[in-house]
């Protein structure tokens, strides 16, 4: 027999209803960042990814000689730290009794289970997108922005670029492809990076599809055949410039470890009684961090408005 709801237990009886609505809303649309970022479980509050040096090319030696030695060396360390994200709303006895806002269905007033779930999904997408949109001006593990022209190499005096200037065009995309194919390890040795994905902001969806999928070369009056490979195109709604001056885009080699979404604690939905009231607080909570462990396998541009 179902329990009779009273002032003392209504929060406990409402929690399972709101919890289901919360997770249904959280999962109602597939997370786009999960196709771009490698998602992993954090085992500690802080997690590090050290970069090691590289040996470079082997050297020719003569018969009977001692082995040539090289110093492997150490590079910089990419670090992650779990950040807490939470949000809550109040569920009052009067609101439940009057049911003016479909409390029984988990909709609530001024902040609902459905809205809470959607808000968390948007938060995760937004935090992930900031890695890219902020990746032209940030200071990363190697002292440079994610997209920069002068990434230092741990075992070489040279620097390397993964930054392209300009809008998404056939010509610029080919430049990005070529730049990625030239990427090197810490000793300056080619790593054979190969673009497998093009990620664009919403404004560039049809431009990207026209460039990649056209039979003839896009953006010209020539009859030249389109020589770009048919790579995967991802349109990311959250990849937007807050000031509206840029139209960011980037290519990615998905076989190289670069973008990371690290989860310390999975989303939790719960409730607690608010002392000296007749109300309950419904809350959501999670911890994660998002960033990158390497600039290799990525080439990006701010684009232009």
**Strands, E, within 208-279: which ranges?**
232-235, 249-252, 259-273
Task: Look at strands 280-292 and 83-91 and give their pairing.
Answer: antiparallel
Residue 5 lies in a domain: no
Residue 2 lies in a domain: no
pLDDT, position 163: 97
Residue 41 lies in a domain: yes
Residue 106 lies in a domain: yes
pLDDT, position 230: 77
pLDDT, position 110: 46
Residue 3 lies in a domain: no
pLDDT, position 90: 83
Task: Look at strands 74-81 and 46-52 and give their pairing.
Answer: antiparallel
Residue 105 lies in a domain: yes
pLDDT in tens, the chain (305 residues): 555 556 666 667 678 888 888 898 899 999 999 999 999 999 999 999 887 766 666 677 777 777 777 666 677 889 999 999 999 988 777 776 766 656 656 665 445 788 889 999 999 999 999 999 999 999 999 999 999 999 999 888 899 999 999 999 999 999 999 999 999 998 888 999 999 999 999 999 999 999 988 755 555 555 555 567 778 999 999 999 877 889 999 999 999 999 999 999 999 999 888 888 878 888 999 999 999 999 999 999 999 85
Q: Token pair for residue 115?
A: 């809205």
C-beta atoms surrounding 10 within 10 Å: 20
pLDDT, position 290: 98
Q: Token pair for residue 289?
A: 């961090």
Domain of 102 in residue numbering reads as: 10-53+79-301
C-beta atoms surrounding 152 within 10 Å: 16
Which CATH number do you get for residue 214? 3.90.1690
Question: What residues are paired with 298 via a beta bridge?
Answer: 252
pLDDT, position 56: 67
Residue 44 lies in a domain: yes
In the chain, the number of structural domains is 1
Residue 59 lies in a domain: no
CA atoms within a 13 Å half-sphere pointing along the CA-CB vector of 229: 11
């Amino acid at each position: 027999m179902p329990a009779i709801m009273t002032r003392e237990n209504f929060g406990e009886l409402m929690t399972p209803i709101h919890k289901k609505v919360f997770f249904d809303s959280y999962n109602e649309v597939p997370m786009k960042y999960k196709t771009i970022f490698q998602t992993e479980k954090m085992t500690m509050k802080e997690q590090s990814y050290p970069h090691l040096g590289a040996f470079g090319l082997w050297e020719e030696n003569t018969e009977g000689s001692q082995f040539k030695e090289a110093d492997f060396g150490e590079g910089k360390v990419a670090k992650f730290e779990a950040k807490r994200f939470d949000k809550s709303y109040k569920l009052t006895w009067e609101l439940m009794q009057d049911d003016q806002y479909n409390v029984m269905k988990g909709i609530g007033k001024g902040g609902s289970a459905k809205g809470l779930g959607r808000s968390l999904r948007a938060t995760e997408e937004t935090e992930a997108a900031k890695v890219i949109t902020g990746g032209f001006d940030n200071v990363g593990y190697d002292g440079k922005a994610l997209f920069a022209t002068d990434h230092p190499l741990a075992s070489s005096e040279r620097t390397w670029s993964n930054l392209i200037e300009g809008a998404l065009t056939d010509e610029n995309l080919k430049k990005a492809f070529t730049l990625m194919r030239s990427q090197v390890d810490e000793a300056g040795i080619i790593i054979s990076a190969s673009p497998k994905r093009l990620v664009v902001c919403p404004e560039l969806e049809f431009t990207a599809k026209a460039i990649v999928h056209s039979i003839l070369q896009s953006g010209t009056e020539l009859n030249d055949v389109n020589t770009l490979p048919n790579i995967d195109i991802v349109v990311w709604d959250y990849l937007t410039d807050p000031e509206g001056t840029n139209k960011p885009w980037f290519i990615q080699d998905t076989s190289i470890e670069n973008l990371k979404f690290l989860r310390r604690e999975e989303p939790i939905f719960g409730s607690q009684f608010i002392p000296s009231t007749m109300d309950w607080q419904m809350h959501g909570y999670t911890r994660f961090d998002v960033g990158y462990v390497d600039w290799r396998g990525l080439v990006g541009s701010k684009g232009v408005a």
